[in-house]
């Protein structure tokens, strides 16, 4: 009981600090995701158009994914130095697999007859993709973003190890100074962020699927 | 309108889908491509909007070689309806129908008017259906949308790939009827792929029968039914349909071949005995060489019976009208109706009696020509 009251008094006393850490955290995740979308969707489309390329691309992004996150960030630090930039690259790489794979699966799941109808009425390949195939694969893509967002929120807590900001800073400080209250405040807020991302994206996905 | 010259289609795996096809589809007509699955009918159709390209030969529309037209442009000028309907599930009906006009960059107002006009054409109230999504419509309604989507940009050519075969029988009948009605108004050149002979007979102006990549027969439904090119066509059409649409028979097929006759020099008692024996009320009078002379009826015989010297030739009547063996049955029936006569003699050249067309023989013939009627009566 005492711990819970300590926790709440810590959050209330440091709300401005925590809010700025949370904002940093969200910012990193969002930028990482956006980059992953910018790169991942075209890669997914490429996979759907070419089966041979699909194997290579999917294998590559899968390998990135199985790398332990702390190790990946460490390697990236060698190339990109300390700081915000490196964290963003790490989050981007971690979000890539779910987005590439779901874009690919979503496009392949589009009913061939509908694509044939689109082609038959005289759509160009680009029009077919933009007007028919991508909109129809949107629920899959959203599921990918949802998975990527939850992963990214978690991975972003490791940012302080390579000079980044975000909720990880409080967690790390808590570990170093043996203040469990600090660890929990960072961890709980990060968990809440992940849950919010999961639920909102899940709802949007359901609405798209009717 | 649409012309295929020496068209051959061979796939990369060596399968020859079409062998040297020559075909001409007339403007404003429905041409049905029909044949068993794998005969190449769908491949042939896809050559017309370049969803597939021929290995050899040329396809032209209105005299223009389509290999020189950009496939995307070409497809926008050709309506396309597929079996699986292929409506875009994420677009409402108005956007689905307006797809091609939008691709052609019509202005919004014009697209909206066209969509409403088309919905009314297939009796779907625009106020109700414009905003709906394909999943909210029945299969029959969806394919109506599929058809009007193909009509939207006023193409002169429309391709239909088994458009009604996935529908339930009732919707299918309705859409076939609607297509026939629509075609009377719009007069498009339609190429219609089907595997259903009844459907082809119902809607097509011309039928192209295909088998293993070749055209077996090309003609109007009437021509194909009357003169099937070979055993395959006959089998494909089916015996029942052939019988129903069989050639109109000449009287020689219908008449009684050996009518009961008597020679003119016989006596009346003998004539009476023949009538009793054969259970008939009249006899045809012929000479020894089977030349038709006339007829006697049982009433004539009874009237003159007391005169022992009377012979057949004294009481016989001559026929005012005779028919030839190759007179068509309907003409003969009409003649019998006009003359109010129960029978007509069938006479070859030089007056030789061939047979006798009687009401009984006509009824007997119709009974055998319509087996379905007999079966239905059981």
Chain B nearest CA to A35, separation (Å)? 27
| Partners of residue A114 in chain B, C-beta under 8 Å | 86-89
Q: Chains A and B: how many Cβ contacts under 8 Å?
A: 59
What does the pLDDT average to over B268-291? Answer: 87
| Partners of residue B88 in chain A, C-beta under 8 Å | 114, 117-118, 131-132, 136
Chain B nearest CA to A91, separation (Å)? 32
Instruction: Tell me whether residue B373 is in a domain.
Output: no
Answer whether B378's CB lies under 8 Å from B352's CB. no
Residue percentage of chain B with pLDDT more than 70? 96
Is the ipTM beyond the 0.85 threshold?
no
Q: Does residue B377 surpass a pLDDT of 50?
A: no
The backbone torsions φ and ψ at residue B261, rounded to the nearest 5 degrees and listed phi first, read -120, 170
Q: Does residue B58 surpass a pLDDT of 50?
A: yes
* Buried/exposed code over B166-180 (b: 16+ C-beta within 10 A; e: otherwise): ebeeebbbebbebbe
Same domain as B194, residue B50: yes
Which helix (H) or strand (E) segment holds residue A48: the answer is helix A15-49
Whether residues A122 and B90 touch (CB distance < 8 A) is answered with no
- Give the pLDDT band of residue B190 (cuts 50, 70, 90): very high
Q: Does residue B245 surpass a pLDDT of 90?
A: no
**Total tally of structural domains belonging to chain B:** 2
Which domain does B279 fall in, by range? 251-366
Same domain as B239, residue B282: no
Whether residues A121 and B73 touch (CB distance < 8 A) is answered with no
Instruction: Tell me whether residue B348 is in a domain.
Output: yes
Chain A nearest CA to B217, separation (Å)? 28
Angle (CA) A198-A28-A61 rounded to 5° is: 75
Q: Which residues of B touch A (CB under 8 A)?
A: 49, 51, 72-78, 80, 82, 84-90, 99-100, 103, 135, 149-150, 159
What does the pLDDT average to over B147-156? Answer: 92
Whether residues B72 and A123 touch (CB distance < 8 A) is answered with yes
Same domain as B205, residue B283: no
Same domain as B242, residue B161: yes
Domain boundary among B188, B218, B246: B246
Residues B70, B74, B80, B85: what is their CA dihedral angle, to the nearest 10 degrees? 30
Same domain as B176, residue B220: yes
Q: Which of B85, B103, B149 sits opposite A123 (nearest CB)?
A: B103
| Partners of residue A117 in chain B, C-beta under 8 Å | 80, 82, 85-88
Closest CA relative to residue B260, chosen from B222, B297, B213: B297
Q: Does residue B237 surpass a pLDDT of 90?
A: no
pLDDT at B114: 94
Q: Does residue B294 surpass a pLDDT of 60?
A: yes
3-state helix, strand, coil split of chain A in percent (to 5) is 90, 0, 10
Same domain as B43, residue B9: yes
Same domain as B255, residue B127: no
- Give the pLDDT band of residue B246 (cuts 50, 70, 90): low
| Partners of residue B149 in chain A, C-beta under 8 Å | 121
The answer to whether the pTM exceeds 0.95 is no
Instruction: Tell me whether residue B374 is in a domain.
Output: no
Give chain B's largest Cα–Cα span: 102
pLDDT at B378: 39
What does the pLDDT average to over B293-314? Answer: 86
| Partners of residue A124 in chain B, C-beta under 8 Å | 72
How many Cα atoms are found within 13 Å in the side-chain-facing hemisphere of A96? 22
Query: Which of B120-129, B206-215, B222-231 comes out lowest in average pLDDT?
Result: B222-231
- Give the pLDDT band of residue B23 (cuts 50, 70, 90): very high
Whether residues B51 and A122 touch (CB distance < 8 A) is answered with no
Which helix (H) or strand (E) segment holds residue B174: the answer is helix B169-186
Domain boundary among B203, B218, B246: B246
Q: Quote the mean pLDDT of chain A.
A: 91
The nearest alpha carbon in chain A to B51 belongs to A120
Strands B292-297 and B343-347: unpaired
Chain A nearest CA to B213, separation (Å)? 23
Q: Which of B72, B74, B82 sits opposite A117 (nearest CB)?
A: B82
| Partners of residue B72 in chain A, C-beta under 8 Å | 122-124
Q: Does residue B242 surpass a pLDDT of 80?
A: no
Residue in A121, A129, A207 to test binding to B, most B beta-carbons within 10 Å: A121
CATH assignment of the domain containing B263: 3.10.580.10
Same domain as B92, residue B152: yes
Same domain as B208, residue B238: yes
CATH assignment of the domain containing B117: 3.40.50.300
- Give the pLDDT band of residue A27 (cuts 50, 70, 90): very high
Answer whether B265's CB lies under 8 Å from B285's CB. no
Number of residues written out for chain B: 378
Same domain as B223, residue B175: yes
* Distances, alpha carbon B307 to alpha carbons B264, B285, B294, in Å: 16, 19, 21
pLDDT at B376: 43
What does the pLDDT average to over B125-148? Answer: 93
pLDDT at B323: 87
pLDDT at A149: 94
pLDDT at B373: 47
Residue in A120, A135, A140 to test binding to B, most B beta-carbons within 10 Å: A120
Residue in A117, A123, A131, A141 to test binding to B, most B beta-carbons within 10 Å: A117
Chain B nearest CA to A210, separation (Å)? 11
Report chain B's C-alpha Rg in angstroms: 31
The backbone torsions φ and ψ at residue B44, rounded to the nearest 5 degrees and listed phi first, read -55, -45
Same domain as B189, residue B278: no
pLDDT at B370: 62
What does the pLDDT average to over A141-160? Answer: 92
Domain boundary among B226, B246, B266: B246
Instruction: Tell me whether residue B262 is in a domain.
Output: yes
| Partners of residue B51 in chain A, C-beta under 8 Å | 116, 119-120
Which residues, 6+ apart, have CB-to-CB distance to B115 below 8 Å? B93, B94, B97, B98, B126, B130, B152
The nearest alpha carbon in chain A to B97 belongs to A121
Residue percentage of chain B with pLDDT more than 90? 44
What does the pLDDT average to over A72-96? Answer: 89
Sheet holding B206-211, edge to edge: B78-82, B157-161, B189-194, B30-34, B206-211, B214-219
């Amino acid at each position: 009981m005492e711990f819970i009251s300590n926790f709440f008094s810590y959050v209330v006393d440091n709300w401005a600090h925590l809010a700025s850490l949370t904002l940093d955290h969200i910012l990193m995740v969002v930028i990482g995701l956006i980059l992953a979308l910018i790169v991942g969707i075209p890669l997914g489309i490429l996979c759907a158009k070419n089966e041979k390329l699909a194997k290579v691309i999917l294998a590559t992004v899968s390998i990135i994914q199985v790398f332990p996150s702390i190790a990946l960030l460490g390697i990236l630090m060698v190339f990109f130095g300390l700081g915000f930039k490196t964290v963003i690259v790490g989050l981007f790489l971690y979000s890539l697999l779910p987005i590439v794979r779901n874009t690919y699966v979503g496009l392949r799941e589009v009913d061939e007859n509908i694509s044939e109808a689109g082609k038959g009425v005289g759509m160009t390949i680009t029009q077919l993709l933009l007007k028919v195939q991508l909109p129809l694969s949107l629920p899959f893509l959203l599921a990918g973003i949802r998975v990527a967002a939850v992963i990214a929120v978690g991975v972003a807590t490791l940012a302080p190890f390579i000079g980044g900001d975000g909720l990880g800073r409080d967690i790390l400080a808590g570990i170093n100074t043996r203040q469990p209250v600090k660890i929990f405040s960072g961890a709980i807020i990060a968990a809440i962020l992940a849950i919010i991302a999961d639920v909102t994206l899940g709802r949007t996905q359901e609405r798209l699927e009717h | 309108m649409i012309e295929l010259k020496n068209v051959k289609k061979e796939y990369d795996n060596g399968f020859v889908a079409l062998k040297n096809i020559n075909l001409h589809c007339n403007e404003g007509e429905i041409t049905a491509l029909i044949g068993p699955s794998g005969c190449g009918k769908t491949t042939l159709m896809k050559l017309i909007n370049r969803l597939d390209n021929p290995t050899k030969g040329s396809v032209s529309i209105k005299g223009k070689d389509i290999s020189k037209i950009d496939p995307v442009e070409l497809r926008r000028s050709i309506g396309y309806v597929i079996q699986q309907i292929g409506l875009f599930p994420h677009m409402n009906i108005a956007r689905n129908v307006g797809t091609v006009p939008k691709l052609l960059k019509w202005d919004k107002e014009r697209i909206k008017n066209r969509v409403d006009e088309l919905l009314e054409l297939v009796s779907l109230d625009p106020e109700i259906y414009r905003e709906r999504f394909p999943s909210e419509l029945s299969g029959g309604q969806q394919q109506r949308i599929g058809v009007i989507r193909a009509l939207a940009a006023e193409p002169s050519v429309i391709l239909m790939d088994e458009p009604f075969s996935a529908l339930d029988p009732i919707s299918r009948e309705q859409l076939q009827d609607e297509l026939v009605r629509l075609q009377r108004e719009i007069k498009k050149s339609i190429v219609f792929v089907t595997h259903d002979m009844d459907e082809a007979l119902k809607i097509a102006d011309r039928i192209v029968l295909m088998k293993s990549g070749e055209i077996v027969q090309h003609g109007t439904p009437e021509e194909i039914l009357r003169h099937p090119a070979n055993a395959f066509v006959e089998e494909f059409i089916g015996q029942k349909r052939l019988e129903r649409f069989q050639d109109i028979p000449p009287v020689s097929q219908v008449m009684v071949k050996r009518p009961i006759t008597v020679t003119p020099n016989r006596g009346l008692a003998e004539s009476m005995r023949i009538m009793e024996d054969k259970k008939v009320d009249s006899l045809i009078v012929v000479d020894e060489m089977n030349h038709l002379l006339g007829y006697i009826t049982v009433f004539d015989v009874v009237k003159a019976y007391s005169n022992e010297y009377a012979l057949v030739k004294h009481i016989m009547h001559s026929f005012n009208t005779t028919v030839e063996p190759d007179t068509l049955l309907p003409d003969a029936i009409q003649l019998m109706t006009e003359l109010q006569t129960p029978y007509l003699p069938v006479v070859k050249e030089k007056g030789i009696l061939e047979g006798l067309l009687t009401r009984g023989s006509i009824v007997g013939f119709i009974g055998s020509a319509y087996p379905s009627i007999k079966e239905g009566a059981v």
